[in-house]
Structure 1
Amino acid sequence: MAMSVGDNTDTPMSDINTTPLVDVMLVLLIIFLIAVPVVIQTVKVELPKVRFDPTTTKPENVSLSITSDGSGACKVYWGMTPVTHQELLDRAVAKLKAEIARQGGIGNPDLELPEAHVRGDVNTPWRCIGGAIFNMQMAGFAKVGFISEPPPGTGVTRL
């Protein structure tokens, strides 16, 4: 380390002594190097290796498309038919009841309930999509999923 003793002038030194700053920073660095491995605790989990799997469309599943116009009004489509939120709830309840009756009722151990697949426009406010999901869950649909478009270049390879 160098030390300035002055040059026999009566002007004060304008250099900042950085030695205490460097000492504090080194101590903090050592503390963080010791503390970080203690704080970060992870459970070793092997996650599944999954490529993009195409959605299996069953005829009993419900396909919803949700958009909004320029004024922010929500537009919900059941298949290709526009529906209001009350019509969505009524149709969902009727669809679920009909599907349960078709499969033999609640007592059937192999009962497979239909799913709701939501396609939401990227520019649609969340309240529109959330409202449709809420209506489907109120109707009794246990599985509500989102349909998305995979990034370019990550398509499915056909075997």
Structure 2
Amino acid sequence: MAMSGGSEDGEPMMEMNTTPLIDVMLVLLIMFIITIPIQTHAVKVDLPVNDPNAVKPPVDPIKNKIAIDATGATTWNGAPVNEQLLRQYLDQSAAMTPEPELQFQPDPQARYEVVDATLAIIKRSNVTKLGFVGNEQYYKDF
């Protein structure tokens, strides 16, 4: 066992007893852990404040939607626009990197001339990401 001698009882013990050394090492480790100072440094982060009165930019960097209702009124992200303002928004959108997606949704009752004129404005603005939204409403017509 731990106190046994060599092969014969009269020989000196050749192995060192490491149990007290391990006990001392564990006590010192616990003492060092207890005496380590608490880390009190902090990283200061200025988070943006959500202002409900803030004006949302007219050109969204992710996606924008042009809709034409049955009366022929054109809207950009829900706000009514005329041809000049639509051209400005499309130019701003085409200049962004990466270019935001443009969704086009005409009403089924909208006049073809208005839809065609709006598509011509979109084509002249060199928009490359154009998608048609709401085509499922026409599936019974064809």
Structure with bigger RCO (C-alpha 8 Å, 6+ apart): 1
Please give the TM-score of this superposition, normalised by the length of structure 2. 0.48
* TM-score computed with the length of structure 1 as normaliser: 0.43
Q: Select the structure of larger CA radius of gyration.
A: 2
